[in-house]
Amino acid sequence: MRTLDDLDVKGRRVLVRADLNVPLDGETITDDGRIRASVPTIKALTGAGAKVVVCAHLGRPKGRPNPAFSLKPVAERLAELLGEDVAFATDVVGDSARGVVDALGEGQVALLENLRFEPGEESKDDAERGAFAEKLAGLAELYVGDGFGAVHRKHASVYDVPRLLPHAAGGLIVAEVEVLRRLTEDTERPYVVVLGGAKVSDKLGVIANLLAKVDRLLIGGGMAYTFLKAQGYEVGKSLLQEDQLDQVRGFLNEAAERGVDLVLPVDVLAATGFAEDAPHDVVEATAIPADREGLDIGPRTRELFAAKLADAKTVFWNGPMGVFEFDAFSGGTRAVAEALIRAEALTVVGGGDSAAAVRKFGLPEDGFSHISTGGGASLEYLEGKTLPGLAALED
């Protein structure tokens, strides 16, 4: 992939596809990690005299304008982080966008409104998507892909536009790909992967691919209960995907055949219901009461997982160990994060809820080797899939 060093950007309009898909509470940004991650590439371009036009998506507005998904609060936060004004276009490729872009001077920045307000952005119809891509590409002379969290999507701004303009990868994508290659090629061992989150079905591909590569696979979060059920244990009212039991039994058998240490919780916090203040007890993971649901891994599991991480040389973590949004059930996720900080290893946090948890707990981000901005994209890369956005940048 070409990088920023391969583009002559001075005085030229550069369209930057960033990932600014941040969580909002009304108009308040509750986690600005993705915005902060976009700043170095934007600053590098403005410092070189580019006229920077940033585009991004937010949420799922389903192809039409929706004020609840406006990027205006993001423009304001981006301006604060850059320390300079960010002009905001109230549409994507309409009169406002063209006016804002035409007014840019060297070293100045504009942000277009939410890409997903346009039906062409996500269209499965190549012609509709291509027509929108041509309008978007018409706003610029060069393209920089820096939204790693979107590169697994065959969307106009990710896949089609770089085929229409001279293009390069931004610093964020370059860093993401470099780290992910270290997780798939010549990986230093022991190699430990920690997977959590709600559903096994979200992780099928990555588990299938990683069983041939890892030394240990630690399973927590809601997906652990399907593994426990597959072994014949009672899981009470815990999250369970019964349609995945046969698949999970296959994973358990394959791990045993390959000598992979597949580690499940030995105790859990079993609550009377899904609530912050729900009464709960520590119970054996193999004997969850029928009227309880597991909401976090227990203290012995936290120690077990920490021990399995202690001598690791490479660690990838994706997915919380429990309902970390509730303080009472956040201890397992925090324990895993802190174990990664202590490990003398390449430690990669796979974006999404895992990255959000790190920030929620106030843990030092430089305590990890890399915090990805793209949970889904990271997983698909580790599954061995071709990511459309990366393929377009490699052309």
* Sequence ranges of the binding site: 19-21, 34, 57-60, 116, 153, 203, 294, 325, 351-354
Would you tell me the crossing angle of helices 299-310 and 331-342 to the nearest 10 degrees? 20
Residue 163: CB atoms within 10 Å: 13
Could you give the C-alpha distances from 55 to 13, 79, 88, in angstroms and in order? 13, 14, 11
Active site residues: 34, 199, 352, 376
Quote the CA–CA distance of 292 and 310 in Å, as a whole number.
32
Name the helix (H) or strand (E) containing 97. Answer: helix 95-102
Q: Would you say the C-alpha torsion 226, 230, 231, 232 has a positive or negative sign? A: positive
161, amino acid identity: V
Could you give the count of Cα atoms lying within 13 Å of 46 in the half-sphere of its Cβ?
Answer: 21
Quote the CA–CA distance of 225 and 235 in Å, as a whole number.
6
Quote the CA–CA distance of 207 and 200 in Å, as a whole number.
9
Quote the CA–CA distance of 376 and 381 in Å, as a whole number.
9
Q: Would you say the C-alpha torsion 195, 197, 199, 204 has a positive or negative sign? A: negative
Helix (H, G, I), strand (E, B) or coil at 169: strand
